[in-house]
Amino acid sequence: MSIAPDVSTEELLERARALRPVFAEQIEETERLTHISEDLHAKVEAAGFYQLLTPKRYGGFEVDLPTYVRIWMEIARGDMSGAWNACLAANHALQLASWFPEHTQEEIFGTPGGMKAASVAAPLTEFARKVDGGWILNGKVAYCSGIPYSTHYMGQALTEPAEPGGPPGPPILFWAPRDTFTILDDWGHLTGLVGSGSNSIVFDDAFVPDHYVLEATHMGDVDPGDGTIGYRLHGNPLYNSRGLGFFTMTVGGIMVGGAYGALDEFKQILLTRDLIRPPFGKRATDPDHQRWYGAALTKIKVAEGALLHSAEMQMEFARQVAEGRPYTWGDDQFVGTVARDAYSLAWQAMQEWIFRYSGSSAATKGAKIERTLRDMATGWSHFNTAQTDFGYAELGRWELGQPRTELF
């Protein structure tokens, strides 16, 4: 057991700000590799950012969720795609520390160099099979963001039908060590997030032990009840966690950070480039450009506020579990809908003002704004973002006392 030294929130944020230009400098290399370089990965590791949500007893920092979101927002301001790669390998310490037994946590968090894990909510393409002492996994899963440097994968699989030809059995949530799956060289074909390291992986008769598996469990709907294993073990309400809203806010942090990075570039364009119509002069002197910049800045700042509020909401819901108030499905939907609206505001700022009024040279392939537009457009098409209407409806159903949608 290695307990991390106390580090202030401001120190962690300073480390993130210091990494922002390093991510920016390596944008081309990140896109060429389709994931962050070994050098950049080592810098993220040295800063402790893969261990932000790891419990202190296992060498982590146990940061609160608003701090976590702010750190990745800072890094995404340098390169959204690379930040997506690193953040999504760091996210899943929260679920491990919240939901899994102590001896499972000790083994996985005890991984030399620290645990890093990609995760996808979609199940494997083949059923999991129960065997003595554990489970056999087969099949493929795509879009495993952060997998190139992951030591583990946290995933879902449906179980074999009770009868041949019958419906699938309930899902399992599992942890799988790196030596149980193969990473395919199949990433980099999308318009954006090319450097996010979102390769597919394949399992071929891989065995995972029982204590790495939660049966009849979907990662998007784990009820903390009257307190999770993680809360009882670590004494921190952070680990009275639900999963869906949390994932939404972290992707939102990367989207908002990307928008801030584009805004930084937009500002430089306005300060350095001339108008092409009277009264000429720098674009920054023009009332129209001033208004467009102000509109973009306001939308992104409101997006940031909504996003941090969603993180504070989850922290408060988690704290209240210890006081006897259930952290409900409706609460988790509320966290997620607020975070998704932050995506919407950031995307609106990008497409309506920043990209439109930066000029055609900003759309040159490889330009900062062009790259960020591609990354944000791909983020906007993410499956989670597409669940906006589902989230609104589930929240409305819950608040109006109507039956919720069951995930299995």
**Burial of 67: CB neighbours in 10 Å, binned 0-12, 13-18, 19+:** middle
Sketch the domain layout of the chain as residue ranges: 9-97, 116-221, 239-399
pTM: 0.96
CATH code at 116-221 = 2.40.110.10
Contact 53, 63 (CB under 8 A): yes
Question: Residue 6's pLDDT is what?
Answer: 84
Please identify, in words, the CATH class of the domain defined by 9-97: mainly alpha
Residue with tokens 């500002």: 267
CATH architecture of 239-399: Up-down Bundle (1.20)
Quote the pLDDT of residue 61. Answer: 97
Distance between CA atoms of residues 268 and 47, nearest Å: 29
Q: What is the pLDDT of residue 340?
A: 97
Tokens of 63: 């940061």
Average pLDDT, 10 consecutive residues per value, the chain (408 residues): 72 98 98 98 98 97 98 98 98 98 98 97 97 98 98 98 92 98 97 98 98 97 97 98 96 98 98 93 96 98 98 98 96 98 97 96 95 97 91 98 94
Q: Which residues contact 3 (CB under 8 A, 6 or more apart)?
A: 56, 57, 59
Give the per-residue pLDDT at 385: 86
The number of helix segments (H) and strand segments (E) in the chain equals: 14, 8
Cα separation of 320 and 325, whole Å?
5
- Alpha-carbon distances of 98 from 55, 150, 223, 227, 381, rounded to whole Å: 10, 19, 11, 9, 29
Please check whether the two domains, 116-221 and 239-399, share a CATH topology.
no
Q: How far is CA 70 from CA 62, 65, 92, 383, 384, in A?
A: 14, 9, 17, 23, 20
pLDDT at 164: 87
CB 343 within 8 A of CB 252: yes
